[in-house]
Amino acid sequence: MTAASPPVPSQLLTLPVNRAKLLNNVTCPYCAVRLDARSRTKEHVIGRRFVPKGKLNGQWNLILNACQPCNNRKADLEDDISAITLQPDAWGVSHHGEPAVDDEARRKSLNSLSRKTRKRVSESNEQLKVESSLSHGLKATFNFTAPPQIDQERAFELARLQLLGLYYMQTYLIDERHGHCWPGGFHPLKLVTQRDWGNVTMRAFMAETQTWDLRLHLVTADGFFKATTRRHPNANLWSWAFEWNYSTRLVGFFGDRALAETMVRKWPPEVRKVIYDRPGNSLHYSSEIPLRDEDDTLFDPTTGVAASA
């Protein structure tokens, strides 16, 4: 997939908001295999069942060719991740505010299997019981209940595939009928749910990258899918961010890992509170930090430098 000097997007990609983008590509955007009539399948980079039913009708999506194994693997990732990200949070709140979507989320929770628990999503609330010995022979018991959780490794893999498809489109050469992968590695940083969008790492990420050159700004499916990429003005480093179903954000970098690590090490650390801490037996937690709308710049196209295509 990667040439000696692959092209990189040099301008902000302007996307038509009311129709799909179609590519007639001859290589798989995910694994770079050469496609033929037997291996080629139609692939929606934003899975139509990943967002609520009908939300991509008359809205932007990327449709291209992919090999059957990659298409199947991505669909498997989308299945339970979609169901979980559409569920209400631990307080029963759905942040999209659409009752019809809540009904669909309930149906999905009954029909989709969590790959983390190997149970239906509806049965995958997580229980944690912690017992600790305190002083003078006393014991403390802590019980925690959380809604179904995404396996983070699978979530970042889905983000990587979605990003590969979008970058492939940005570097697509019509005459050659293929696109490229970015130079350098893929470096996931953080996955957070809506009530913790304001944590210190997410705020530091926004502050660090908001002045970088904007290369992709995508809001589609009535806001149930958002994506952005920005390029460091002086280095081979890009930031990326996704928001899925109004509930989950994932951020990270691709390109120069050493530079990304140098930046992140300078950010304020996340504060973890200690319930108890003994050799081989400790319990820490961190508080969720919400993000005010006026402080949310993650998907704001007015920040940074953008050259119109």
Query: Model pTM?
Result: 0.89
Q: Where are the beta strands (DSSP E) in 7-103?
A: 21-22, 40-44, 62-67
Q: Is the pLDDT of residue 190 over 50?
A: yes
The per-residue pLDDT of the chain, averaged, comes to 89
pLDDT tens profile 103-128: 999 999 999 999 999 999 999 987 76
What is the reported pLDDT for 273?
64
Helices (H) and strands (E) in the chain, counts: 5, 12
- Whether 132 maps to a domain, the answer reads no
- Whether 144 maps to a domain, the answer reads no
- Whether 5 maps to a domain, the answer reads no
- Whether 69 maps to a domain, the answer reads yes
Q: How far is CA 70 from the centre of its chain?
A: 18
- Whether 243 maps to a domain, the answer reads yes
Q: Where residue 16 falls among pLDDT bands split at 50, 70, 90?
A: low
- Do 198 and 291 meet the contact criterion of CB atoms below 8 Å apart? yes
* Residue 103: partners with Cβ closer than 8 Å, 6 or more residues away: none
- Do 29 and 165 meet the contact criterion of CB atoms below 8 Å apart? yes
Interstrand relation of 21-22 and 62-67 (parallel, antiparallel or unpaired): parallel
* Residue 73: partners with Cβ closer than 8 Å, 6 or more residues away: none
Copy the structure tokens of residue 119. Answer: 């149970």
pLDDT tens profile 37-80: 999 999 999 999 999 999 999 999 999 999 999 999 999 999 99
What is the reported pLDDT for 1?
44
What is the reported pLDDT for 305?
59
Residue that wins the pLDDT comparison between 140 and 85: 85
Residue 119 CA to residue 113 CA, distance in Å, equals 5
Determine the average pLDDT of the residues in 207-220.
95
What is the reported pLDDT for 134?
56
Q: Is the pLDDT of residue 283 over 60?
A: no
- Whether 100 maps to a domain, the answer reads no
Query: Which range has the worst mean pLDDT, 56-70, 235-249, 269-283?
Result: 269-283
The total number of residues shown for the chain amounts to 309
Residue that wins the pLDDT comparison between 145 and 285: 145
What is the reported pLDDT for 306?
53
Residue 145 CA to residue 143 CA, distance in Å, equals 7
Give me the number of domains the chain comprises. 1
- Whether 155 maps to a domain, the answer reads yes
User: Domain range holding 281?
Assistant: 21-85+149-295
Q: Where residue 308 falls among pLDDT bands split at 50, 70, 90?
A: very low
* Secondary structure class of 102 (helix, strand, coil): helix
- Whether 91 maps to a domain, the answer reads no
Q: Where residue 309 falls among pLDDT bands split at 50, 70, 90?
A: very low
CA 24-30-34 angle, to 5 degrees, is 55
